[in-house]
Amino acid sequence: MSEIQKVAVVTGAGVLAEPTMEVADVARTVPHMASLPLEANVRFATVMATAVPYIGRG
């Protein structure tokens, strides 16, 4: 298990494992955006593990 996968989150319910995802899944986003026609634009791309409980916490 890598150091990234060992990350934990401390919550009111105790310590929970941080949801993770494969780097390759994130990396596929860039070629997809580059393959779009010039008339198309991707202003924002949020790629995250599906089990992340909140967006923008911190």
Asked if the structure places residue 37 within a domain, the reply is yes
State yes or no: pLDDT of 13 exceeds 70. Answer: no
pTM flag (> 0.75): no
Q: Which of 24, 6, 3, 23 is nearest to 15 (CA)?
A: 6
Asked if the structure places residue 33 within a domain, the reply is yes
Say what the pLDDT of residue 7 is. Answer: 56
Average pLDDT in the 35-53 region?
88
- Token pair of 11, please? 């919550």
How far apart are alpha carbons 20 and 6 in whole angstroms?
10
State yes or no: pLDDT of 49 exceeds 70. Answer: yes
Contact between 55 and 46 under an 8 Å Cβ cutoff? The reply is: yes
Say what the pLDDT of residue 46 is. Answer: 86
Asked if the structure places residue 55 within a domain, the reply is no
Contact between 19 and 51 under an 8 Å Cβ cutoff? The reply is: yes
Say what the pLDDT of residue 9 is. Answer: 59
Domain that holds residue 26: 20-50
Q: Count other C-beta atoms under 10 Å from residue 19's C-beta.
A: 13
